[in-house]
Amino acid sequence: MSNVNAVVNDGKITNLTNDTETKKKDSSSSVDKEQFLQLLVAQMKYQDPLEPTDNTQYVSQLATFSELEQMQNVARSSDMQRATSMVGSLVTVTATNEVTGATTEVTGKVDFVSKSGNSIKLSINDALYDLDDVKQIWDNSYADARALAEEWTDSFNTMPTLDNITAKNADIYKGTLKTLYDTYQDMSIYQKTFLSSESQSLLGQYVEKFLEYGIDVTKSDFGQSSSGNSSSSNSGSSENSSSDSGSTNAGSSVGTANGTGSDTGTGVAAV
pLDDT tens per residue across span 20-46:
444 444 444 455 667 767 777 777 777
pLDDT tens, 172-195?
Answer: 999 999 999 999 999 999 999 999
Pairing relationship of beta strands 90-96 and 12-18 according to DSSP bridges: unpaired
pLDDT at residue 266 is higher than 80: no
pLDDT band with cut points at 50, 70 and 90 for residue 75:
low
What average pLDDT does the segment 246-251 reach? 39
- Please give the DSSP secondary-structure letter assigned to residue 155: H
Convert 135-168 to b/e letters by CB count within 10 Å (16 or more is b): eeebeeeebebeebbeebeeebeebeeeeebeee
Q: What pLDDT is recorded for position 138?
A: 85
Distance CA 254, CA 233 (A): 30
Instruction: Of 108-117, 147-156, 210-219, 240-249, give the lowest mean pLDDT range.
Output: 240-249
